[in-house]
Amino acid sequence: MRLQTWRYFDYWLIGAVAVLVIFGVAMIDSAIAGNPELVEANAVQRQMIFAGIGFVVVMVVTLFDYHLWPTIGRVLYVVIFIMLAMVTFGGEEAFGAGRWLTVAGQLIQPSEMAKITIIVLTADFFSRYQDRIGEIPIIIQGALWTLVLVGLIIVQPDLSTSITLMVIWAAMLFASGLKGKHIALFIVLMLVVMAIGYPFLADYQKARITNFLFTDPDARFGEEYNVNQALVTIGSGGLLGQGYGQGTQVQLRFLKVRDTDFIFASVSHELGFFGTVIMMGLLFFVIYRVLVNARRARDTFGALVCYGVATLLAFHTIVNIGMNLKLLPVTGLPLPFISRGGSALLSIMLGIGLVESVAARQKLS
């Protein structure tokens, strides 16, 4: 790769990502609060290792022309299809769903990598058929890449990731030039399908929806308890918080899954309103820089890749914060760069690497 390519590398983007990842590791260390299982499993050290690998992934992916990724994506699609099938029939189970495979002694979640794969393949397809984007056969054909993986993921069952894939597909379809009224029609159809599919959801998924609509503030266990504790945790943080590593709700473990689903509440509790606003500002700054690179991309494919990554980051951020504030039902979607989880972090860092590859070649001949 020519040295002048680094002139267009987005240092603002990678700098903000680095701050968020470091901040995330620090908050995970505090949120674990001496939990013997996580301490024994070296959870913080594992997150640091995945973070280090993630930054290497960003640099390596930047070195390669992003136009190579449609071919890589097709191979990756087949690998992920096989892995998701293996998860369906023999994956590791947690919280009522089988979503993990054990590879070389490490648990990995293939559905996380499916998000980036769908972004690449959908961007490639829509960029090649952009002049026919309003034709129903093209829309259906473009949806097949996504629907096949959605089918495998939803039977795990993993409704939140399935919805994420569909949101990415719809957002990229809109970015490709499909009219707003058509997007509205697809949203209505999606809601109808979700309503029809409700009876077939797993019991814990139905409970999450029910608990969101009908809250028992005196709940002492389950998802309802977790949400109520998240609200108490956020509210008790005040403007400045109780101090890093000093929050009673976190350190005394009243707040559950505080290092993953509810890490936003942990941040609010210990760093307060101002600390939370700074964190959210950095997250939305990252999304903004990704969209800037989409606008500067030299071709439609590069722009759509960036739009897809921006959609992924925005959807995860909004849904995670929304469920912490009880504005949305509880899901398993992590807060980007902050929540504990190696597969999710590596997947997002791969997406950042693709954006940097687009940025590095935006003005090269």
Report the pLDDT value the prediction gives residue 365, as an integer from 0 to 100: 44
Q: What is the pLDDT of residues 301-340, one digit of tens each?
A: 999 999 999 999 999 999 999 999 988 888 878 999 999 9
How many secondary structure helices (H) and strands (E) does the chain include?
14, 3
Who's near 222: CB < 8 A, 6+ residues apart?
A: 207, 211
Q: What is the mean pLDDT of residues 253-268?
A: 89
Bigger pLDDT: 361 vs 354: 354
Q: What is the reported pTM? A: 0.86
Who's near 314: CB < 8 A, 6+ residues apart?
A: 287
Amino acid at 241: G
User: Range with the lowest mean pLDDT among 281-290, 293-302, 323-332?
Assistant: 323-332
Q: What is the pLDDT of residues 84-121, one digit of tens each?
A: 888 766 555 444 444 556 555 566 777 888 899 999 99
Bigger pLDDT: 118 vs 257: 118
C-alpha 36 chain-centroid distance: 27
Q: What is the pLDDT of residues 184-234, one digit of tens each?
A: 767 776 666 666 555 656 665 666 666 656 665 555 555 677 788 889 999
CA–CA gap between residue 202 and residue 3 (Å, rounded): 53
Give the number of C-alpha atoms closer than 13 A to the C-alpha of residue 87, restricted to the C-beta side.
Answer: 30
What is the secondary structure of 112-171 as a DSSP string? HHHHHHHHHHHHHHHHHTGGGTT-HHHHHHHHHHHHHHHHHHHTTT-HHHHHHHHHHHHH
Report the pLDDT value the prediction gives residue 112, as an integer from 0 to 100: 84
